[in-house]
Amino acid sequence: MEIRLVDAQDDDAPAGEVGELVIRSPHVMKGWFGHDDATAEAIRGGWLHTGDMATVDDDGYYYIVDRKKDVIIRGGCNVYPHEIEEVLYAHPAIREAAVVGVPHDSLGEEVAAVVALKPGTDAHEEALRDFAKQRVAAYKYPRRVHIVDDLPKGPTGKILKRETSLPG
């Protein structure tokens, strides 16, 4: 099996940069029956595009950082929600967190977070925003933070980001 990381043009991603994980092997599927468009999108040049965004270290170990569909593009910069969620989970009051992109007139998308607090704790949106702002690059921190009782989950308990909503 061959594995690579590629950029948006399917060229090898520069060392140390995040790229999409692509694989090639005789064991990889040939495509979806009757779905030529989906097959053409997923398999290009013989490489299966997994939709996983990853980095690779000097020893050749790959690290998945997020899903391509979940990437927020804020003013031309990629923001990986998983990275921001990990920062938010470090806050002592946060029980659950989901970071999503919301439409923005000039930036394309803005970073927003929906969080649920641990029982018996208290935190304000501004304090949570400042907590994240101190720990990530200036373009990455959530400008909007909304506190809810619980985040929507599927049958397995996974947070359903696409069903997460912000007021307004």
> Do 148 and 82 share a structural domain?
yes
Condensed to tens digits (0 to 9), the pLDDT of residues 21-34 reads 999 999 999 888 99
Instruction: Using the predicted structure, report yes or no on whether residue 168 has a pLDDT greater than 70.
Output: no
What pLDDT band is residue 8 in, cutting at 50, 70 and 90? confident
Q: Answer yes or no: do 48 and 123 share one domain.
A: no
pLDDT digit string (tens) for 35-70? Answer: 989 888 889 999 999 989 999 988 889 999 888 888
Please give the structure tokens belonging to residue 67.
Answer: 């899903």
Residue at 145 is within a domain: yes
Asked if residue 104 belongs to a domain, the reply is: yes
CATH code assigned at 129: 3.30.300.30
**148 assigned to some structural domain:** yes
158 and 94 part of one domain: yes
For residues 63 and 130, give the distance between their C-alpha atoms in angstroms, rounded to a whole number: 28
- pTM value is 0.76
- Supply the CATH number for residue 33's domain: 2.30.38.10
Q: Per residue in 109-163, pLDDT tens?
A: 999 999 999 999 999 999 999 999 999 999 999 999 999 999 999 898 889 887 8
Alpha helices in 27-138 (DSSP H): 36-42, 81-89, 125-133
**14 and 59 belong to one structural domain:** yes
Structural domain for 7, as ranges = 2-69
Nearest to 82 by CA among 134, 12, 140: 140
Other Cβ atoms closer than 10 A to 164? 18
Domain count across the chain? 2
